[in-house]
């Protein structure tokens, strides 16, 4: 999994993190530039040094997370054995780990699509489609090769992505299962969902 490293300068990163926390707690429309400045211990002018607007900051948060989600999935599929069951297991597993590792970003990314302005929204839809299509391609190939029995590859693929994303809505660190254990089970459940001939406990 790619390192979750700041790609910003220290100053920009503190504004980015403050905005993320504010959007998580109060939503985009419930957060002012003044709130972000206060939470980051700076001034509105500091935010405008790095971002043209609050919208620009939201788009950095959402776009970056989506870009990394795509990259995480690409790496998982590339590094798995070149067979649909291994690839789907790896993709689902990594998608769970990725979302569970940053439930704050996952929530903001999935709840503030409404707040994106038209161009940003189009870009976001394209990113979401790209992520979904990586799962779709694996499931479609499994069906084609006769190892996934689902009659509904597209719906099954979407259900896999949404159930894995949703782990971020209930995951609490320090719970009964480690993120890795949860991810392993979701990988196996994804196989079960697509009717993998390897069966539910195969991985």
Name the residues that contact a second copy, by CB under 8 A.
24-31, 107, 110-111, 114, 149-152, 155-156, 158-159, 162-163, 165-167, 169-170, 182, 185-186, 188-189, 192-195, 199-201
* Structural tokens at position 169: 């809505």
Return the number of the residue (12 or 92) whose C-beta is nearest a second copy.
92
Instruction: Output the six-digit token pair for 198.
Output: 């390897």
Q: Which is nearer to a second copy, 90 or 168 (CB)?
A: 168
- Residue 73 phi/psi, 5° resolution? -70, -40
Q: How far apart are CA 158 and CA 147, in angstroms?
A: 18
Please name the helix (run of DSSP H) or strand (run of DSSP E) that holds residue 138, with its range, or none.
helix 118-144
Least distance (Å) from a second copy to the CB of residue 135? 13
How far does Cα 159 stand from its chain's mean position? 14
| Least spacing, CB of residue 50 vs a second copy, in Å | 23
CB of 113 to a second copy, least distance (A): 9
First-to-last C-alpha distance (Å) of the chain: 19
Residue 155 C-beta: closest distance to a second copy, Å: 5
Alpha-carbon distance 85 to 74, whole Å? 15
- Minimum Å gap between C-beta 134 and a second copy is 17
Can you tell me whether residue 196 is helix, strand or coil?
Answer: strand
């Amino acid at each position: 999994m790619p390192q979750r490293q700041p790609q910003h300068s220290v100053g920009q990163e503190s504004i980015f993190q403050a905005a993320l926390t504010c959007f998580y707690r109060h939503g985009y429309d419930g957060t002012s530039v003044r709130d972000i400045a206060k939470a980051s211990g700076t001034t509105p002018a500091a935010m405008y040094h790095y971002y043209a607007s609050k919208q620009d900051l939201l788009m950095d948060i959402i776009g970056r997370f989506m870009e990394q989600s795509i990259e995480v999935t690409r790496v998982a599929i590339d590094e798995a054995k070149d067979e649909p069951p291994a690839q789907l297991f790896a993709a689902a597993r990594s998608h769970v780990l990725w979302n569970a590792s940053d439930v704050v970003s996952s929530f903001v990314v999935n709840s503030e699509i409404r707040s994106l302005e038209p161009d940003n929204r189009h870009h976001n839809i394209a990113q979401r489609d790209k992520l979904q299509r990586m799962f779709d391609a694996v499931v479609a190939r499994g069906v084609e090769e006769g190892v996934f029995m689902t009659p509904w590859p597209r719906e099954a693929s979407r259900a896999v992505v949404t159930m894995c994303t949703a782990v971020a809505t209930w995951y609490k660190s320090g719970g009964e299962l480690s993120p890795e254990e949860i991810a392993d089970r979701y990988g196996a459940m994804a196989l079960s969902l697509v009717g993998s001939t390897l069966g539910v406990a195969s991985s």
